[in-house]
Amino acid sequence: MSSGIVRHSENNRMSLAVEAGGFVFLAGLTAVETRGATVAAQTKEILQRIDHHLAEAGSSKANLVSAQIWLTDSATFNEFNTVWEEWVADVGKPVRACVESRLADPALNVEIMVTAWR
């Protein structure tokens, strides 16, 4: 029996991406390279990872419908937005929420979770 759900990059705790009902849901992604990395650098890395995982699931940033963003310091909002706006410049913009929040690892400055149409 097929549930119509496809899971990508599963580990013991979660999947990094799940396809269901015509959508691709990505887990909250953070940067891997955090040592001394600015919000801009971490954001660029995360957006590259988002591009990769969406492509792996048959979608792209052009199909984004929503994004949730967590910043550890709201003072970095403009720095984040500079990178984000360049990334979405030539595609339809998703609905978006951005909040200040402490993240699980103090070296992390930003986490992004997106949903896209497939």
**Spatial strand order in the sheet of 6-10:** 6-10, 15-20, 23-26, 110-117, 64-71, 95-100
Q: What is the mean pLDDT of residues 4-27?
A: 95
At residue 2, the pLDDT reads 60
Q: How many domains is the chain partitioned into structurally?
A: 1
Within-domain flag for 50: yes
Within-domain flag for 26: yes
Kindly provide the residue ranges of all beta strands, DSSP E only, lying in the chain, ordered along the sequence: 6-10, 15-20, 23-26, 64-71, 95-100, 110-117
At residue 3, the pLDDT reads 81
**What does pTM read for this prediction?**
0.94
Within-domain flag for 28: yes
CATH number for position 92: 3.30.1330.40
Q: What is the mean pLDDT of residues 61-88?
A: 98
Kindly provide the residue ranges of all beta strands, DSSP E only, lying in 29-94, ordered along the sequence: 64-71
Within-domain flag for 1: no
**For residue 16, is pLDDT > 50?**
yes
Within-domain flag for 57: yes
Q: Which residues have C-beta within 8 Å of that of residue 46, sequence separation ≥ 6?
A: 29, 30, 31, 110, 111, 112
> Average pLDDT, whole number, for the chain?
95
**For residue 79, is pLDDT > 80?**
yes
Q: Domain residues for 94?
A: 6-117
More confident residue, 58 or 3: 58
**For residue 96, is pLDDT > 70?**
yes
